[in-house]
Amino acid sequence: MPKSLLLFYGVRGFEYFEDDRPLITTEVHSLLSENPVAFKHWKTSRTQLLAAGGAALISLGTGISWKYRPQHKKASAALIVTYLGSAVISGALTQRAIFHKKKAVLKYNKGLKQQSSFLLNPLLDADGIGLSLQF
């Protein structure tokens, strides 16, 4: 029987556990691919983290160019706005990505609890339309 998935934010990033067993990201990816709703949140999180990393690199680059500009030149407003704006965008995207990671794990765990002990199948044959109940 599948066990619930746990998510912790540690010093080295996210850590995943299936009860007491630590999981790597590829194992989590394959587990979450079984549940389409959870996998959608997982993919959204990955996309947002990638975009946040890009915004962080832009912020880093403009920050370095601001810091090491020639002393006789005044920093342009566009440089400062780009530096601060990309830092804010990076932070916001990171927060949304963390939200979607948590949502993916919660949806996966919720899907484990909703499994029923019976299956209702529709039937269509020469005798007519009906339902079959499998336990």
Domain membership of residue 68 as a residue range: 5-134
Joined tokens for residue 81: 């706005």
- Number of other residues whose CB lies within 10 A of the CB of residue 69: 13
CB 43 within 8 A of CB 52: no
pLDDT for res 89: 97
Phi then psi for residue 102, to 5 deg, are -60, -40
Distance CA 48, CA 42 (A): 10
pLDDT for res 21: 87
pLDDT for res 105: 92
pLDDT for res 48: 96
Looking at the 3D structure of the chain, how many domains does it have? 1
Distance CA 63, CA 90 (A): 14
Phi then psi for residue 24, to 5 deg, are -95, 165
Stretches where the chain sits below pLDDT 70 are: 1-2, 114-119, 133-135
Q: Are strands 5-10 and 13-18 parallel, antiparallel or unpaired?
A: antiparallel
pLDDT for res 131: 76
**% pLDDT > 70, the chain:** 92
pLDDT for res 76: 85
Helix (H) or strand (E) holding 65: helix 36-67
pLDDT for res 1: 55
pTM of the model: 0.74
Distance CA 5, CA 113 (A): 12
pLDDT for res 19: 79
Distance CA 21, CA 5 (A): 10
pLDDT for res 129: 82
Joined tokens for residue 10: 């540690």
